[in-house]
Amino acid sequence: MIANNIFRAIGEFCQNVLFAPHNSIRTMDNWWVQNTVSWIFVVILFIALFYWLGQLKNYKKAGNE
């Protein structure tokens, strides 16, 4: 019973909080705005990825593990 409530709470949190930005993008009327917002997210993702890879390279050079 408790496990069922925990998983239900996790599901509701994901649907109501984490997916809220995606739902707002989905309900936009303008296709160009949807794609612009999506591309902004993609650019932020790539910036974070390359920063992370650069930090990994720096740690590997320094010999820290």
Are the beta carbons of 34 and 25 closer than 8 angstroms? yes
Structure tokens at 12: 């509701």
- Mean pLDDT computed over every residue of the chain: 88
Amino acid 25: pLDDT: 82
DSSP track, 2-48: HHHHHHHHHHHHIIIIITHHHHHHHT-S-HHHHHHHHHHHHHHHHHH
**Is residue 56 scored above 70 in pLDDT?**
yes
Amino acid 1: pLDDT: 62
pTM: predicted TM-score of the whole model, two decimal places: 0.60
Amino acid 10: pLDDT: 92
**Is residue 51 scored above 80 in pLDDT?**
yes
